[in-house]
Amino acid sequence: MKLEEKQNIEIYFWKNSVTESPESDSIDNLIGKMAGARVFLDCLRKFNSSFLGKKTILELGGARMGIVHC
């Protein structure tokens, strides 16, 4: 299978999944996002002193989280 075909399958899934699409309010989706948010906040706390007093912070990669190394 070519890369473009794999990408199209992936895009279709994330757009149309009942439990994973951006518009999904499923409990599985919400729990997954909450678990990811906890990990993300733990990572942010390590940089708290760098953020203090800043007016602008650039977030890179705000999509669904996989393995996070902080």
For position 56, what pLDDT does the model report?
83
Overall pTM > 0.75: no
Query: Across residues 40-48, what is the average pLDDT?
Result: 86
**Quick one: which of 44, 50, 54, 19 has its CA closest to 33?**
19
- Over residues 15-28, the pLDDT tens digits come to 888 888 878 888 88
Hey, how many other C-beta atoms are within 10 angstroms of the C-beta on 9? 11
Lowest mean pLDDT among 10-19, 44-53, 61-70: 61-70
Q: What phi and psi values does residue 48 have, to the nearest 5 degrees? A: -55, -45
Residue 6 pLDDT > 90: yes
The domain locations on the chain are 25-51
- Per DSSP, 52 falls in state T
**9-13, 20-24, 54-58, range with greatest mean pLDDT:** 9-13
- The structure tokens 């990408």 sit at 7
